[in-house]
Structure 1
Amino acid sequence: MPISTTLSDGTRSRQVTQVRAFNRFYTRIIGALRANLLDSPFSLVEARIMYELGQLPDGLEGAALRRMLDLDPGYLSRVLTKLDTNGLVSRTTSATDGRRQIIRLTEAGRAAFATLDQGSDDAVAELIDPLDPEQRARLVEAMVAIEQVLGDRPAARGFVLRPPEPGDLGWVVARNGALYAEEFDWDASYEALVARIVADYAQKHDPAREACWIAELHGRRVGAVFCVTDADDPTGRTARLRLLLVEPSARGHGIGERLVDECVRFARRNGYDRMTLWTNSVLASARRIYQRGGFTLDSENEHHSFGQDLVGQTWSLKLN
């Protein structure tokens, strides 16, 4: 795959060096996994052939298997002959075309594949078991990203929303503080504000009328939002959307829109007449999400907060 010529020579050189370093690292990891399978008599190519055939009870045409594995026809033929001689695969003529061979695993081949497959699972489990859940999620997400960028696998758009679990509220505080510092240069006073909001929610929220949702993508936390009763409305008929957050790596999946929609549906179900939120004009992506959700801008005011000169905005949405 050609490297974009729009990159500077220095950037291109650093990226090439990093990819090559990763290749060397991953080759060592694969070597370690293969070492864990030395009890198996199979080469890497033989194991791959058995894996592909193990997914297809009715077998596969030889030409299709060659294309799938990108192997030289002569080399593939020699490997299949060895597996056939050892009673692990059978090669029969296609019922519809006498020029084609159908390759299947024999019963002995399926038994050998089952042992090999379990050994592979055990080797990978041994590799990732020392990692904590967050590290495993990051690892899997990075591997999926590599496959999507360099292969032909479409980007996965599936994500889940769930209630908060132990540790999630602390994550909301930490990620808000870090992301707004990185993207807008806000100081620690913003993280302090988020900590107070989250602490109030944890200590005093009414589960019947207030809720929080955590968004997960590939098993990793990537977003959050809160729906609480607006303390400025003495009637208790106004809900307030707070602390909408989507990780940069997860943007473009519609997570922000879904979090806002979930808040609105929850507020409607629980008898609120109106929903409000407070944001700042620099948060353009969030503002577009609110506009698409039907919110309208009520007022603006200049203020100095979080170490910056900002324009605060109040938005609202009629629910009934």
Structure 2
Amino acid sequence: MTIEDIRSFNRFYTNLIGALDYSRQLHTPYTLTEARVLYELSAARQADAADLRGALTLDAGYLSRLLGKFEKDGLITRGPSAVDARRQRVALTPRGREAAHLLEERSREQVGTLLARVPADRRARLAAAMSTVRELLAESAMPHTAVPNAVGEAELREPGPGELGWIVKRHGEVYAQEYGWNAEFEALVARIVADHAARRDPACERTWIADLGGRPVGTVMCVRDEAPDTARLRLLLVDPEVRGHRLGARLVDTCVSFAREAGYRELVLWTNSVLESARRLYERAGFELTAEKPHHSYGADLVGQDWRLTL
């Protein structure tokens, strides 16, 4: 691959999605950067200005001017952080949340229109290719970005109020965007989460939220399996924006350690072959593939896989 190969792809993709004329494409008054800031604030409910600057790698002066514009337009409020008065807390107003919701809705419509051009039997291939590009470039960028340090500081904790709903919502969003999976998958996640919340035994079952700067960016679940002395790893997810910095490995390792300490003899999981990055995490943690079976689910032809780890 040459430099020109990458530049050619960049030109093709930015033209395809209209990134150079974002406001016209989505019929909004916001630039792409402004829309990203609104999205981050919407996802986090509220955030420190320093968190926004780090997440989006923006110049401090530029971000300050952008937030000033948002405040003047009634989209945000700013004030001292409750945790550290030296940091500035930023939160969307109802008007700002409405603007962020409209942007999200129009962006999803735009991507849906783009995805509709791709035959259903080729979407898994497209998703896998995009995942590979993201993973390889994220790994190559690690020594040169401040993001790994921030991700490394993510706290793994119990879900707070509303965050079980976040698990369902974020799974539905990410898998629809990356693999074209339909609402069947989100419904499955909702059932898993609801069943776990209603019947969880704290001594041998647990859910973790990866918290970065006060917002969830990942999750994994350890539940009791039907087989004796066996636990099941479920619903591993790392937000696309923080992938490539070993947060997924931390979540898997934490689940494995908990299962071992809880006295289980085996930890099992079920996944699909198209989820290549997750499968690599399982392999590195010592899981072994025990069975494969084709199936049609979530609007796609998939190959389900069973993996097992002896504790």
Same structural fold, with TM-score higher than 0.5 when normalized by the shorter chain: yes
Q: Distance in 1 between matches of 2:202 and 2:218?
A: 20
Q: Post-superposition shift, 1:11?
A: 3.6
Residue segments in structure 2 that go unaligned for 5+ positions in a row = 1-5, 23-30, 36-60, 72-79, 101-140
Q: Which structure: greater helix fraction?
A: 2
Give the match's secondary structure for 1:177. helix
Q: Post-superposition shift, 1:279?
A: 0.3
1:128 match: 90
Equivalent residue for 1:203, pick from 198, 202, 205: 198
2:186 match: 191
Give the match's secondary structure for 1:164. coil
Q: Distance in 2 between matches of 1:263 and 1:174?
A: 22
Equivalent residue for 1:27, pick from 42, 58, 65: 65
For residues 30 and 282 of structure 1, do their structure 2 counterparts lie closer, same or farther at Cα, with a shift above 3 Å needed?
A: same
* 2:221–2:233 CA contact under 8 A, matched in 1: yes
For residues 9 and 256 of structure 1, do their structure 2 counterparts lie closer, same or farther at Cα, with a shift above 3 Å needed?
A: closer
Q: Distance in 1 between matches of 2:62 and 2:263?
A: 59
Give the match's secondary structure for 1:128. strand
Q: Distance in 2 between matches of 1:258 and 1:14?
A: 34
Q: Distance in 1 between matches of 2:276 and 2:185?
A: 18
Identity across aligned pairs (percent)?
48
2:53 match: none
1:226 match: 221
Q: Distance in 1 between matches of 2:13 and 2:304?
A: 41
Please report the RMSD computed on the Cα atoms of aligned residues, expressed in angstroms.
3.7
Q: Distance in 2 between matches of 1:171 and 1:182?
A: 16
Give the match's secondary structure for 2:203. coil
Q: Post-superposition shift, 1:202?
A: 0.6
Q: Post-superposition shift, 1:241?
A: 0.3
Equivalent residue for 2:211, pick from 210, 216, 224: 216
* 1:217–1:250 CA contact under 8 A, matched in 2: no
* 1:174–1:191 CA contact under 8 A, matched in 2: yes
2:271 match: 279
Equivalent residue for 2:155, pick from 160, 163, 179: 160
Q: Distance in 1 between matches of 2:269 and 2:238?
A: 17
For residues 284 and 21 of structure 1, do their structure 2 counterparts lie closer, same or farther at Cα, with a shift above 3 Å needed?
A: closer
1:307 match: 299
Equivalent residue for 2:11, pick from 8, 11, 36: 8
Q: Post-superposition shift, 1:191?
A: 0.8
Q: Which amino acid aligns with 2:11?
A: S
Pairs aligned (count): 211
Q: Post-superposition shift, 1:14?
A: 4.8
2:283 match: 291
Structure 1 residue runs of 4 or more that deviate by more than 2 Å after TM superposition: 4-33, 121-125, 127-132, 152-158
TM-score under structure 1 length normalisation:
0.57
- Alpha-carbon displacement from aligned partner over 1:163-186 (angstroms, at most 9, x marks no partner): 111111000011111111111111
Q: Which amino acid aligns with 1:288?
A: R
Give the match's secondary structure for 2:296. strand
TM-score under structure 2 length normalisation:
0.59
Give the match's secondary structure for 1:207. coil
For residues 247 and 25 of structure 1, do their structure 2 counterparts lie closer, same or farther at Cα, with a shift above 3 Å needed?
A: closer
Q: Distance in 2 between matches of 1:128 and 1:262?
A: 32
